């Protein structure tokens, strides 16, 4: 039972353009969502997060949008840079108690083309 789904295994975007990565979830109890970025041979690195009381959170070039009614979140990267090429995971948790028990999507491999 995949509670967090990233339906696009890969995405290719031209440098300077917007990258949009999508994530859907099924568990209504999830109330905190995170995006992680992973390079080969390294562990995932935290990128940005959003609480269910918000619908948008911005940090520099990265913005996460949350649509609770659709159980959907997306990560926007503007402008995309070659260094953004990595695998992106979205993750969800239930409350602070569940913070250390993240449920991850399967990841989307983002490739930024020069």
Q: What's the min distance (Å) between Cβ of 114 and another protein? A: 28
Nearest to 111 by CA among 76, 83, 77, 89: 83
Say if residue 79 is preceded by a cis peptide, omega within 30 of 0: yes
Find the binding residues for another protein in span 55-114 (CB under 8 A): 89, 91, 93, 96, 98-107
SS3 82: helix
Q: What's the min distance (Å) between Cβ of 13 and another protein? A: 22
The first and second tokens of residue 22, run together, are 């999508």
Q: What's the min distance (Å) between Cβ of 24 and another protein? A: 14
Residues near another protein (CB under 8 A) are 32, 34, 36, 41-46, 49, 89, 91, 93, 96, 98-107
């Amino acid at each position: 039972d995949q509670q967090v789904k990233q339906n696009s295994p890969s995405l290719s975007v031209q440098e300077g353009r917007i990258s949009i990565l999508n994530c859907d979830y099924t568990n209504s109890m999830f109330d905190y969502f995170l995006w992680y970025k992973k390079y080969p041979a390294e562990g995932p690195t935290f990128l940005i997060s959003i609480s269910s009381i918000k619908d948008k959170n911005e940090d520099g070039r990265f913005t996460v949008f949350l649509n609770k009614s659709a159980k959907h979140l997306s990560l926007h990267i503007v402008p995309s840079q070659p260094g953004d090429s990595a695998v992106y995971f979205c993750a969800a948790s239930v409350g602070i108690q569940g913070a250390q028990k993240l449920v991850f999507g399967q990841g989307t491999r983002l490739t930024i083309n020069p």
